[in-house]
Chains A and B, each alone.
Chain A
Amino acid sequence: MDEDKIDKIIEEHRTDKSELIPILQDVQAEYNWLPQDTLRYIAKRLQVPLTDVFGIATFYKSFSLKPRGKHLVRVCLGTACHVRGGPRILETAERILGIKTGETTEDYKFTLESVNCLGCCALGPVMVVDNEYYGKLPPTKVEKVLHKYGYTSLSSGKGGET
């Protein structure tokens, strides 16, 4: 952990408990996940119990306590996507990447997550890779999309859970 980096992030906010969520968001933006030592350091700096920091980091879905892959693949399972085949998109992505939802490929190229609604409901089913949206996606096109982000059959296989 780079303490200066974390200090800099904290300084951009107030050293106040109410800033915990924005601080964690910025730390995650820096590391792509929340390493344990950063949580300890933030708790110390903000003078809040580590349990509070840990509570926030586990309650909110956008935080990850495990390293995530270079590319974050999210499949929408909102109602509109559900009735238009969202679960099949997720199954297809799981099969192609060889991992389950919430897991990361062994080479840390891809993390696969499901999300409860991206607000793109008119275009269901929707898959998002990093911040690129793919709407009206048939299961047969999932592999082609993943190829754009460097998917090869070598990428597949189980890494760690996020």
Chain B
Amino acid sequence: MNRRKIKSPSDLEKLRQEILAKRDPKKPRIAICAGTGCLALGARKVITTFKEELKKRGLENEVEIRETGCPGFCEKGTIVVIYPEGIYYLQVQPGDVPEIVEKTLVEKKHVERLLYTDPATNEKAIHEDEIPFYKHQMRLLIGNNIKVDPKNIDDYIALGGYRALAKALPEMTPEEVIEEVKRANLRGRGGGGFPAGRKWETTRNAPGEPKYVIVNCDEGDPGAFMNRALMEGNPHSVIEGLIIGAYAIGSHEGFIYVRDEYPLAVENTSIALGQAREYGLLGRDIMGSGFDFDVKIFRGAGAFISGESSALMSSLEGKVGAPKPKYVHTSIKGLWNKPSNLNNVETWANIPLIINKGARWFTSIGTEGSKGTKIFALVGKVNNTGLVEVPFGITLREIIYNIGGGIPNNKKFKAVQTGGPSGGCIPERFIDTAVDFDELTKLGSMMGSGGMIVMDEDTCMVDVARYFIDFLVDESCGRCVPCREGLERMSEILNDICEGRGKEGDIELLEELSEVMKDTSMCGLGRTAPNPVLTTIHYFREEYDAHIKEKKCPAHVCKALIEYYIDAEKCTGCLACLKACPEGAIAGEKEKVHVINREKCSKCGICYDTCKFGAVIIS
């Protein structure tokens, strides 16, 4: 497509009006989530079925189909929203498509069964703001995902995109931009929580040219995917923030580092950069301001530690992505030893909002020390999984119960894990804690990049600690001894405990190792690695004791400490478990009680899942 260069702020407004003039707001539009989550649930087939169905009925010119980014409610994908009414359909399958077209687009009625149903009242919700999952959120960053096709810059411009850039470049000096970001007290969303404005100022004032700006989309924390959703779903919001930052810092070259596991984010961001370039929003003399800036996209190659700022910069230089000791910060000497400012995707996406609406507005949201909103990945044992954006200060209870809809299958809530492998497990008694950077740290956990993994009574906390330590053993770069060796020793101890070889003194040894690692590791990975162990010991010591002293796993997770058997009272002799058992470990005949041969049993749990009568028991 031939795009005319935008040479001034008024050009941008003119273009916006032209885009809007070409669009009929009353024209029916089908927005379908084409984010990684919904694609995993079959969204591609839903999209092609819609196209075929519209063609079949000769409606292809009457109705627009828009493939959008992730609106967050992944649990209920594929998500389809019919505009202009904004009718929200959930869990749409290809087979539902003809009915949606017939009933909603032709007859203007609702397909009741695809609407959200409140599990308590059975009431239906038609629009986004009536669905509890969305109602309690404040979706400043992610709210536009369902409204824009990330592969079409015009959608972003139609919603007022790049207006913040059009304001900053001619009206504000770089210092004024930094001042505004400082006043907004925007703290880094990647986990550290360092004030972005101060970081920008350091890089701006640091000696040396050129200066670099970097978007960190190496989102490695397991259980977090908000960066993916933003980068895939609304890449221009991040790019606009980055250009404004580059202007404020005095940088003319930027990088977007995307992890290898996010191919769709790479694809959509590359398209977005190309389109921004065509409009002259990147390149020389942006909007006639005299400011030059361009961005390269860099695909990571699969290393958790490369998300650390100095490691990421090493990776950009074509080296092994291992961290460096930070005698000098990367904001002063970073990429190729030049001043380099790195921020997380979500941090950058906040910038256009702050410039457009002002620091005063931004600071009206949140708590004393944490301003604005935060996107959390609400996952694990919770009914409504997905991405939730909430103002700082909301309680864990509100997130897990009001938005998340509580714990599935009437199970009991046990803990919520925040902060990825650097964070910790927060028990039920702190569920009314207000969520912000400082409060979570007080509990021994941390905000991290926003993963929030809910755990129920069936989750073993010792196994969770082991899981994180084994994860980190795998991901430690191995450069410093405390991290490399400390993690290995911790892993040995935790694996012993989980496998029934735990002994008196193990807990104390874990605590001692933790202290050494915290004090002496080179980078954040090693210094925070003990957090999952320390918090689980602190809050769930009785589970450790049960494993060590009684050789029992109360949550029935640790294989070495459990046995499967069949309850003769409940077994109907249906042969289902016998047929399902991959080891041939179950003996029995039709309508006779079955028996598990413990010698052969691999404790895979398939019989437990298969039995409809609750006859397979774990002890």
Does B326 touch A at the CB level, under 8 Å? no
Residues of chain A within 8 A of B386, CB atoms compared: 122
Residues of chain B within 8 A of A63, CB atoms compared: 301-302
Cβ A121 vs Cβ B385 within 8 A = yes
Residues of chain B within 8 A of A18, CB atoms compared: 316-318
Which residues from 78 to 126 on chain A have a C-beta closer than 8 Å to any C-beta of chain B? 78-84, 88, 91-92, 95, 115-124, 126
Residues of chain B within 8 A of A139, CB atoms compared: 604-606, 609
CA distance A26 to B221 in the complex (A): 26
Q: Which residue of A lies closest to B470 (CB)?
A: A77
Contact with B along A129-158 (1 / 0, CB 8 A): 001011110111000000000000000000
CA distance A24 to B455 in the complex (A): 40
Cβ A80 vs Cβ B604 within 8 A = no
CA distance A32 to B149 in the complex (A): 32
Cβ B315 vs Cβ A122 within 8 A = no
Residues of chain B within 8 A of A21, CB atoms compared: 298-299, 301, 315, 318
Cβ B223 vs Cβ A59 within 8 A = no
Residues of chain A within 8 A of B381, CB atoms compared: 83-84
Residues of chain B within 8 A of A84, CB atoms compared: 380-381
Looking at chain A's contact residues, is the secondary structure mostly helix, strand, loop, or mixed?
helix
CA distance A125 to B602 in the complex (A): 20
B543 to chain A, nearest CB (A): 15
Does B228 touch A at the CB level, under 8 Å? yes
Does B179 touch A at the CB level, under 8 Å? no
Q: Max chain A CB contacts within 10 Å: which of B299, B380, B477?
A: B380
Which residues from 452 to 500 on chain B have a C-beta closer than 8 Å to any C-beta of chain A? 453, 455, 459, 464, 467-468, 471, 474-475, 477
Q: Which residue of A lies closest to B219 (CB)?
A: A119
Cβ A116 vs Cβ B40 within 8 A = no
**Of B303, B377, B455, which one neighbours A60 at CB under 8 angstroms?**
B303
Which residues from 2 to 42 on chain B have a C-beta closer than 8 Å to any C-beta of chain A? 36-37, 39-41
Cβ A78 vs Cβ B315 within 8 A = no
Residues of chain A within 8 A of B41, CB atoms compared: 123, 135-136
Q: Do A88 and B221 contact each other (CB < 8 Å), given the known contacts A62-B302, A83-B455?
A: no
Interface residues on A, range: 35 or more
**Of A52, A60, A95, A133, which one neighbours B301 at CB under 8 angstroms?**
A60
**Of B222, B228, B263, B606, which one neighbours A116 at CB under 8 angstroms?**
B222
Does A17 touch B at the CB level, under 8 Å? yes
Contact with A along B356-399 (1 / 0, CB 8 A): 00000000000000000000011111000111000000000000
Residues of chain B within 8 A of A59, CB atoms compared: 303, 320-322, 477
Cβ B303 vs Cβ A121 within 8 A = no
Residues of chain A within 8 A of B300, CB atoms compared: 60
A46 to chain B, nearest CB (A): 9
Does A38 touch B at the CB level, under 8 Å? no
**Of B36, B223, B304, B471, which one neighbours A80 at CB under 8 angstroms?**
B223
**Of B261, B298, B378, B467, which one neighbours A79 at CB under 8 angstroms?**
B467
Q: Which residue of B lies closest to A52 (CB)?
A: B319
A22 to chain B, nearest CB (A): 7
A124 to chain B, nearest CB (A): 7
Does B224 touch A at the CB level, under 8 Å? yes
Does B220 touch A at the CB level, under 8 Å? yes
CA distance A135 to B39 in the complex (A): 10
Cβ B220 vs Cβ A62 within 8 A = no
Does A8 touch B at the CB level, under 8 Å? no
Which residues from 44 to 62 on chain A have a C-beta closer than 8 Å to any C-beta of chain B? 52, 55-56, 59-62
Cβ B475 vs Cβ A116 within 8 A = yes
Q: Do A117 and B379 contact each other (CB < 8 Å), given the known contacts A21-B315, A59-B303, A92-B604?
A: no
Does A20 touch B at the CB level, under 8 Å? yes
Cβ A117 vs Cβ B221 within 8 A = yes
Q: Which residue of B lies closest to A115 (CB)?
A: B261
CA distance A49 to B262 in the complex (A): 30
Cβ B604 vs Cβ A91 within 8 A = yes
Cβ B302 vs Cβ A60 within 8 A = yes
Cβ B260 vs Cβ A62 within 8 A = yes
CA distance A117 to B475 in the complex (A): 12
Cβ B40 vs Cβ A135 within 8 A = yes
Residues of chain A within 8 A of B304, CB atoms compared: 116
Which residues from 1 to 25 on chain A have a C-beta closer than 8 Å to any C-beta of chain B? 16-22, 24-25
CA distance A52 to B314 in the complex (A): 13
Residues of chain B within 8 A of A20, CB atoms compared: 318
Q: Which residue of B lies closest to A76 (CB)?
A: B222
Cβ B604 vs Cβ A121 within 8 A = no
CA distance A78 to B453 in the complex (A): 10
Residues of chain B within 8 A of A79, CB atoms compared: 222-223, 379-380, 417, 420, 451, 453, 464, 467-468
Q: Do A133 and B471 contact each other (CB < 8 Å), given the known contacts A83-B380, A83-B381, A120-B225?
A: no
**Of B36, B302, B378, which one neighbours A119 at CB under 8 angstroms?**
B36
Residues of chain B within 8 A of A135, CB atoms compared: 37, 40-41
CA distance A19 to B298 in the complex (A): 10
Cβ B318 vs Cβ A56 within 8 A = yes
B473 to chain A, nearest CB (A): 11
Does B584 touch A at the CB level, under 8 Å? no
Contact with A along B209-223 (1 / 0, CB 8 A): 000000000011111
**Of A17, A60, A123, which one neighbours B37 at CB under 8 angstroms?**
A123
Cβ A56 vs Cβ B320 within 8 A = yes
Cβ B40 vs Cβ A126 within 8 A = yes
Does B170 touch A at the CB level, under 8 Å? no
Residues of chain A within 8 A of B75, CB atoms compared: 122-123
Residues of chain A within 8 A of B303, CB atoms compared: 59-61
Residues of chain A within 8 A of B224, CB atoms compared: 117, 119, 121
A76 to chain B, nearest CB (A): 8
A98 to chain B, nearest CB (A): 12
Cβ B261 vs Cβ A119 within 8 A = yes
Q: Max chain A CB contacts within 10 Å: which of B74, B381, B453, B580?
A: B453
Which residues from 66 to 93 on chain B have a C-beta closer than 8 Å to any C-beta of chain A? 74-75, 77
Extra pairs beyond A17-B317, A61-B301, A119-B228 (14, CB < 8 Å): A19-B318, A21-B301, A21-B318, A59-B322, A83-B455, A88-B604, A116-B471, A117-B220, A118-B261, A122-B225, A123-B385, A133-B36, A134-B40, A135-B40
Q: What are 21 A-B pairs with beta-carbon distances under 8 A?
A: A18-B317, A21-B318, A59-B321, A60-B303, A61-B301, A62-B301, A79-B417, A79-B451, A80-B222, A83-B459, A84-B380, A116-B220, A117-B225, A119-B219, A121-B224, A121-B225, A122-B387, A123-B37, A123-B41, A123-B75, A131-B263
- 4 closest A-B pairs by beta carbon, nearest first, are A122-B74, A133-B40, A60-B301, A78-B222
A residues with CB within 8 A of B: 16-22, 24-25, 52, 55-56, 59-63, 77-84, 88, 91-92, 95, 115-124, 126, 131, 133-136, 138-140
